[in-house]
């Protein structure tokens, strides 16, 4: 490697659980500047473990930030497309929202936990961290708040029909009782440990925000309880089967939430103003549709979608679904030409036109 190339290349960041992945022989890749496991052998087995039993994911590359101060709620009301007032007054309640630019494009999608009127916690994407923090700090001018990133914390997601029972079996009694009391989309502190009944798989489960040492203890304890470690590959097939958007694929700054199937996350009915609201066009120019491939092949991002020989859009996310044993996809199409459910469209795959059925998602 030349001296110039050596300077340009930097090792990806390692999560607190990196050594655990190496011990298990995981295939590690550079994912947005982080060394993360793609799989531990069989991606399909990992996928099925989450659907039928329980799996765990290292998601410590995600960014945790605490917003504190007397203007916390006012700031988030004006910053997020969804209205944080929906969850205010219920400690630990979580809200999914997009954060928009002035044009209405999506800078990031995130989870916000309401802790009290002077404290909320954000969980944002790793790939957008630099842009997110710059935007949040810019918008914070004039508000009495402090934004504090928490890079010392690890994030561990445990997902599947048996996830909650399995986590409760490896923590102390007080923590186990607080986990049992959680409702969906709600979190709770136990000392300095935070756990939310949230996830990115379509299954029940929890996400833990804890110290690096405790994350390693949990990982090892859950391994002993036969919880399947899962990598980025299974995470992607699971979230797509559940119809969940992925930033950079289904969401970006060139499209609004309304163009991306996320109208339900935008609060437009009240007088509240928020960044980007003025540029949200109704009806939206684009719509999202689900596709199931009828022919042999695999649907992938950026493949063009045709209806009656006219190009109407493109696939944003596509994969082979281990649960359905068919290829599935999300596609963004021009609203005016949106095909009806049960219609078929054609997908340009290499030099062929393959047939896909339009379906309602989530797929599973």
Contacts of 217 (CB under 8 A, 6+ apart): none
Region 77-90: what's the mean pLDDT? 97
CA pair distance 287, 108, nearest whole angstrom: 19
Give the distance, in angstroms, between the CA of residue 247 and the centroid of all CA atoms in the same chain: 7
Q: Quick check: 59 and 153 in contact, CB under 8 A?
A: no
Q: What is the pLDDT of residue 1?
A: 40
151-178 burial string, b = 16+ CB within 10 Å, else e? eebbbbbbbbebbbebbbebbeeebbeb
Residue 305 exposure: Cα atoms within 13 Å on the Cβ side: 33
pTM of the model: 0.95
Whether the predicted pLDDT of 125 surpasses 50: yes
Number of Cβ within a 10 Å radius of residue 82? 24
pLDDT band at 9 (very low <50, low <70, confident <90, very high): low
What percentage of residues in the chain have a pLDDT greater than 90?
95
Model pLDDT for residues 195-233, shown as the tens digit of each residue: 999 999 999 999 999 999 999 999 999 999 999 999 999
For the chain, domains (ranges, CATH) are 3-57+152-241 (3.30.1360.120), 63-149 (3.30.70.1400), 257-359 (2.40.30.110)
Residue 6: both structure tokens together: 């050596």
């Amino acid at each position: 490697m030349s001296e110039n190339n050596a300077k340009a290349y930097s090792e990806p960041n390692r999560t607190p659980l990196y050594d655990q992945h190496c011990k298990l022989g995981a295939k590690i890749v550079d994912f947005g500047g982080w060394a993360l496991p793609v799989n531990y052998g069989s991606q399909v087995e990992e996928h099925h473990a989450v659907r039928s039993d329980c799996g765990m994911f290292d998601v410590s590359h995600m960014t945790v930030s605490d917003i504190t101060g007397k203007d916390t709620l006012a700031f988030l009301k004006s910053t997020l497309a969804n209205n944080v007032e929906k969850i205010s007054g219920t400690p630990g309640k979580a809200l999914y929202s997009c954060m928009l630019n002035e044009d209405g494009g999506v800078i990031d999608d995130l989870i916000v936990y309401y802790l009290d009127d002077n404290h909320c916690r954000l969980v944002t994407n790793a790939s957008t961290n630099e842009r997110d923090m710059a935007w949040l700090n810019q918008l914070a001018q004039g508000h009495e708040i402090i934004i504090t990133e928490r890079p010392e914390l690890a994030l561990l997601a445990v997902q599947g029909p048996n996830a909650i029972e399995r986590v409760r079996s490896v923590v102390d009694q007080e923590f186990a009782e607080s986990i049992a009391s959680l409702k969906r989309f709600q979190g709770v502190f136990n000392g300095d440990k935070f756990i939310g009944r949230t996830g990115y798989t379509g299954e029940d489960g929890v996400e833990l925000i804890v110290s690096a040492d405790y994350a390693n203890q949990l990982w090892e304890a859950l391994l002993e309880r036969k919880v399947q470690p899962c990598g980025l590959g299974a995470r992607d097939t699971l979230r797509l089967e559940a119809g969940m958007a992925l930033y950079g694929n289904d969401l970006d700054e060139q499209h609004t939430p309304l163009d991306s199937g996320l109208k339900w996350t935008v609060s437009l009915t009240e007088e509240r103003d928020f960044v980007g609201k003025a540029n949200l066009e109704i009806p939206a120019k684009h719509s999202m549709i689900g596709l199931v491939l009828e022919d042999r092949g695999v649907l992938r991002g950026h493949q063009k979608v045709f209806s009656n020989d006219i190009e109407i859009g493109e696939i944003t996310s596509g994969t082979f679904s281990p649960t359905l044993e068919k290829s599935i996809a999300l596609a963004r199409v021009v609203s005016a030409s949106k095909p009806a459910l049960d219609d078929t469209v054609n997908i340009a795959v290499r030099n062929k036109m393959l047939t896909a059925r339009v379906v309602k998602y989530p797929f599973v």
